[in-house]
Amino acid sequence: MSTPDVNLELDCRGMLCPLPVIELGRRLTDVAVGGTIAVVATDVAARVDVPAWCRMREQEYVGEGVAEDGTPRYVVRRVS
Amino acid sequence: MTNASGTPHPGPGAASPVYLDSASSEPLHPAAREVLLAALDQGYADPRRLHGPARSARLLLDNAREAVAGCLAVRPDEVTFTASGTDAVHRGLLGLHAGRARRGATIVHTAVEHSAVLHAAHWTAGEPVAVAVDRLGRVAPDEVARACHRAPGGATVAAVQSANHEVGTVQPVAAVAEALGEVPLFVDACASTGRVPLPGGWAAAAASAHKWGGPAGVGVLLVRKGARWRNPFPADDRVDERASGFENVPAALAAAAALQAVVAEHDMVGARQSALIDRIRAGVAAVPDVEVVGDTEDRLPHLVTFSCLYVDGEALVTELDRRGLGVASGSACTASTLEPSHVLTAMGVLTHGNVRVSLTRDTTAADVERFLAELPDVVRGIRAEIGL
């Protein structure tokens, strides 16, 4: 269950904060309501900032897993 | 490049810079300046010697100690002047730790302690235990007690700050002390001293003079009479066995004078600052996608922290500075480590686009309005650059 299927995966490896969250904000509407996006990010701030983004933008934070290369992967569901 | 509000380097007629970073360091209080200048000429000698100039220095040092003790409602022999707030934290925490070496092995601390506490805790042989905080940054007393109970090898000391230095949330220190039982409590009071009364229940506590308007290079270590404290560092043969190095007598006296002054004006200044912070909290919350963090009520009077979604903290601080507004940030990109603030992380709030605004005793309503007038434009500008 570490790499659940998602509708869109954003490769944010190597990006520093706040770029992974900016990418997430930009691409949210690329998935339909009910769809999921994974943010794959090496930036340690993403672990806090992706859930915080979900809270502020009223989206659902599904949870954290890891990509195949071991990079943290944060999954978000679009709810609006 | 110019705009309606000012130029990068204010020319004639431009508004003067506004310093909003007193939580990093408060400007020297006028009362401290006067005393410092006088004491520089009077307090140069070695306070341990037996000649006249030495007796003068010793008298000034004892006066400083008594004044600080009076302000903090402690005994003069519980007060030690150290080389800095960090030094006081190290000596206070590690001294209690050393004093209980036979009864325990592990330092327990809240997840939002100042880095001085964390570095000292990690310097010991044991693996310290961090206690989680809630979204406001507050620790639960029973969770501190539980962590002490479960600490590997037994807890030596629990470290709980009086109030958080980044978000201002006041910690339930008295309740923690009660819950702890026999485990001694270390209280880092650097952020709050002179601004809110020192809480009780500690075995040792620390404060920092430049955060209340005294000179830098003066810390205050408090060790409760009867507390089991052992010097964790090499001993020295100074006036005070808990400190080392030649006493900075003029600075200690100036620090004491500043503390007396800020305690005397505390009701008035604190109330004014608290109202201005309420104004900032409301004004900032009106900016889209901004999260104001920390407790709205039970907080330090002079500071507030907020985070702006999609905004780079360094860009934010730099642009505010260009417009004459000096603020701090806990965002990763503003730190040498590239790690976000451990305080914001522990609270689970947005770490990027972070700004901490902290008021000096002279900050005016006009200064605050100027900040609130500039901020939305700065945030909008940075977001526009990335197309959001």
pLDDT in tens, B256-302: 999 999 999 999 999 999 999 999 999 999 999 999 999 999 999 99
CA distances from B176 to B65, B164, B187, B282 (A): 28, 15, 11, 31
Q: How far apart are CA B340 and CA B267, in angstroms?
A: 34
Longest CA span, chain A: 31
Q: Which of A17, A19, A45, A67 is catalytic?
A: A17
Q: How far apart are CA B46 and CA B35, in angstroms?
A: 19
Q: Hey, are the CB atoms on A16 and B353 less than 8 Å from each other?
A: no
Q: pLDDT value at position B108?
A: 98
Find, among B124, B88, B84, B107, the residue nearest to B159 by Cα. Answer: B107
Tally of helices (H runs) and strands (E runs) in chain A: 2, 4
Measured between beta carbons, which residues in chain A are less than 8 angstroms from residue B311? 18
DSSP-derived 3-state class of residue B52: helix
From the candidates A49, A61, A74, which should be mutated to test the interface with B, based on the most B CB atoms within 10 A? A49
Residues of chain B with CATH 3.90.1150.10: 266-385
CA distances from B56 to B48, B53, B60 (A): 11, 5, 6
CATH dotted code for B30-264: 3.40.640.10
From the candidates A12, A47, A48, which should be mutated to test the interface with B, based on the most B CB atoms within 10 A? A48
Which residue ranges of chain B lie beneath pLDDT 70? 1-14, 333-338
Contacts with B, A 2-61, CB within 8 Å: 16-18, 21-22, 25-26, 43-45, 47-49, 51-53, 56-57
Find, among B185, B178, B196, the residue nearest to B117 by Cα. Answer: B185
Q: Hey, are the CB atoms on A56 and B289 less than 8 Å from each other?
A: yes
Give the residue from chain A lying closest to B333, CA to CA.
A17
Q: Hey, are the CB atoms on A53 and B349 less than 8 Å from each other?
A: no
CA distances from B347 to A61, B231, B303 (A): 16, 34, 17
Q: Which of B340, B386, B387 sits opposite A45 (nearest CB)?
A: B340
Q: Hey, are the CB atoms on B332 and A17 less than 8 Å from each other?
A: yes
Q: How far apart are CA B32 and CA B358, in angstroms?
A: 21
Does the pLDDT of residue A1 top 50, yes or no?
no
Residue B217 CA, distance from chain mean position: 14
Measured between beta carbons, which residues in chain B are less than 8 angstroms from residue A21? 309-310, 352
Q: Which CATH number fits domain B266-385: 4.10.410.60, 3.90.1150.10, 3.40.50.300, 3.65.10.10?
A: 3.90.1150.10
Measured between beta carbons, which residues in chain B are less than 8 angstroms from residue A49? 340, 350-352
Q: What is the distance between the terminal CA atoms of chain A, rounded to a whole angstrom?
A: 25
Q: Is A17 a catalytic residue?
A: yes
Please give the interface size between A and B, counted as residue pairs whose CB atoms are below 8 Å apart: 63
Q: Hey, are the CB atoms on B340 and A21 less than 8 Å from each other?
A: no
Q: Hey, are the CB atoms on B352 and A17 less than 8 Å from each other?
A: yes
The shortest C-alpha distance from A3 to chain B (Å) reads 23
Q: Hey, are the CB atoms on B351 and A45 less than 8 Å from each other?
A: yes
Q: Which of B309, B331, B388 sits opposite A56 (nearest CB)?
A: B309
Give the residues across from B160 on adjacent strands. Answer: none
Residues of chain B with CATH 3.40.640.10: 30-264
Q: pLDDT value at position B334?
A: 66
Does the pLDDT of residue A8 top 50, yes or no?
yes
CA distances from B106 to B127, B232, B280 (A): 6, 15, 41
From the candidates B133, B292, B309, B382, which should be mutated to test the interface with A, based on the most A CB atoms within 10 A? B309
